[in-house]
Amino acid sequence: MSQPPVIVWFRNDLRVGDNRALAAAVATGAPIVALYILDDECPGRWRMGGASRWWLHMSLAALAKDIAERGNRLLLLRGQAEKVLIGLTQERKAAAVFCSRAYEPHAVALESRLKAHFDSAGIAFKRYGGALLREPEDIRTKSGDVYKVYTPFWRALRQGLVVPAPKPAPRNIPATSRIPKGLALEELDLLPLKPDWAGGLRDAWTPGEAGANARLNSFLKNAMADYADLRNRPDIEGTSRLSPHLHFGEITPGMCWHRARQVAAHMHGADKGYETFLKELVWREFSYTLLFHWNDLPDKPFRSEFMHFGWKKNAQDLKSWQNGLTGFPIVDAGMRELWQTGYMHNRVRMIVASFLIKDLLIPWQEGEAWFWDTLVDADLANNAASWQWVAGSGADAAPYFRIFNPVRQGETFDPKGVYVRRFCPELANLPDEYIHAPWSAPPPVLRSAGVILGKTYPKPLVDHDNARARALAAYEDMRAAIANRNAGASGVS
């Protein structure tokens, strides 16, 4: 009788290199069923958005090729992961299921249901790390609490950090002849067809493990040394753009850490960039830790006082923001970069989020949902934690009253308007001094640049100074309402 297979259940670990679950399965010597399940039910309202689905299609294609080159085949199935996995295990009489851990609340709950099932069925269910540098259970304050502030979290993580050396990809992934046919990749319906809006994404990205490694190499060689100084500049390619690759697990943070350290050791002056890069990777760890311990993070304010904030829902303003038509060039450029490429520079993400939340008083959850659908790196932990950070409602968040001035931000971080001109070409001929505030340009300047405000480019949706005052008043109202409630509760009049 043939040896029972081990199922390697691929999730957000779409790689063959440095994949502990795959390496452990290969080490058993058993034949392997390499499986991916598209499950749109388990994540509930956080089912993957459009841009992520495009990425997933491309990434699965790359993984399937890497697996085929190693003598096996990627089996694609669709449905509730729990049912599909249990069904396949029974049907194939599998000896074990190996996978990488995931940290979203729905994924954690799914893993514990599967563990209970497989334990009672006498089938090994083994989960491996790799998606994070440290497991979220491991980093605690001296009193055993979860860190809610980034800097001590960073110090604690750094101090005890031992990242296992990345595991090379197995040369061979032994197959079994009894793998069901499964679905063709196209049958997962992940690509946009009518209309095909993914042209900009195709130009900008190479999903898959090889693309991830190429991106890391290029960053280490060309940008890491200046990363600390240039990472806030959207007009310069000064960051790694590894976020979608990290999200889909095409590369591990451990691999990034090891490689960055090696390069920094041999590159004069790269220490500062290396350290700053690690700190950003650890913001990712911090977000994951928050989500792991506070499951409501994507839906509810971490600081409950923000439940009483006087948001103003406005469908028209939301649409203008989504379409990059607010009349503030740096905001519009960011929103158009997002639409065209599935990505937005971090500094600009902060600017557009501040504009939505504070200038327009629209709830942060609306922005979070739009990002979820349009980002190729849409990530439940990073997205939720970052939106809450800007909103002032998160753990260790920016204080609410720090309100970005979109004109000043544009002038500081895109001083020549290179980024704005790229994504708002209708403003391309404006002189630098007006590029971030076209409404302040004298009429002859606008005329000669071919800009007609309200026609070729929108007039500003709000007056920023008034909007700022309105946001601060709303914040004070929230505080006053809470103080009144507390006074009422304690009987003080």
- The verdict on whether 339 is a catalytic residue reads no
State the first-to-last Cα distance of the chain, in angstroms, to the nearest integer. Answer: 82
- C-alpha distance from residue 422 to each of 195, 333, 336, 374, 425 (Å): 24, 8, 10, 19, 6
- Check if the beta carbon of residue 280 is closer than 8 Å to that of residue 347: no
Q: Which residues contact 201 (CB under 8 A, 6 or more apart)?
A: 51, 54, 55, 341, 342, 376
AA identity, residue 101: R
364 is catalytic: yes
Choosing from 275, 280, 305, 426, the catalytic residue is 280
Considering the candidates 213, 232, 237, 283, report the single residue annotated as catalytic: 283
Q: Which residues of 464-492 are buried (b: 16+ CB within 10 A; e: fewer)?
A: beebbebbeebbeebeeeeeeeeeeeeee
Q: Which is nearer to ligand FAD, 285 or 411 (CB)?
A: 285
Structure tokens at 255: 């691999």
* Residues found near ligand FAD in the complex (CB under 6 A): 231, 239-243, 246-247, 280-281, 283-284, 287, 346, 349-350, 353, 371, 375, 377-379, 382-383, 386-387, 390
Distance from C-alpha of 452 to C-alpha of 462, rounded to nearest angstrom: 18
Find the catalytic residue in 311, 314, 426, 439. Answer: 311
Minimum gap (Å) between residue 256 Cβ and ligand FAD: 8
Amino acid letter, 395? A
Asked if 387 is an active-site residue, the reply is yes
- The nearer residue to ligand FAD, 167 or 231, going by C-beta atoms, is 231
Catalytic site residue from 321, 364, 370, 372: 364
Reduced to 3 DSSP states, what percent helix, strand and coil does the chain have, rounded to the nearest 5? 55, 5, 40
Find the catalytic residue in 9, 372, 387, 389: 387
Nearer to ligand FAD, 244 or 329 (CB): 244
Q: What is the nearest approach in angstroms of ligand FAD to the Cβ of residue 206?
A: 14
Query: Residue 139 or 350: which CB sits closer to ligand FAD?
Result: 350
User: Smallest distance, Å, CB 238 to ligand FAD?
Assistant: 8
226 or 280: CB nearest ligand FAD: 280
CB of 480 to ligand FAD, least distance (A): 28
Q: Among this protein's residues, is 346 annotated catalytic?
A: yes
- Could you tell me the smallest distance in angstroms from the CB atom of residue 102 to ligand FAD? 15
Name the residue nearer to ligand FAD (CB basis): 85 or 350: 350
Helix/strand/coil for 36: strand
Q: Which two tokens stand for residue 298?
A: 């994507």
* Minimal distance, residue 453 CB to ligand FAD, in Å: 28
Q: What is the rounded CA–CA span in Å between residue 19 and residue 113? A: 23
Q: What are the residue numbers of the active site?
A: 280, 283, 311, 346, 364, 387
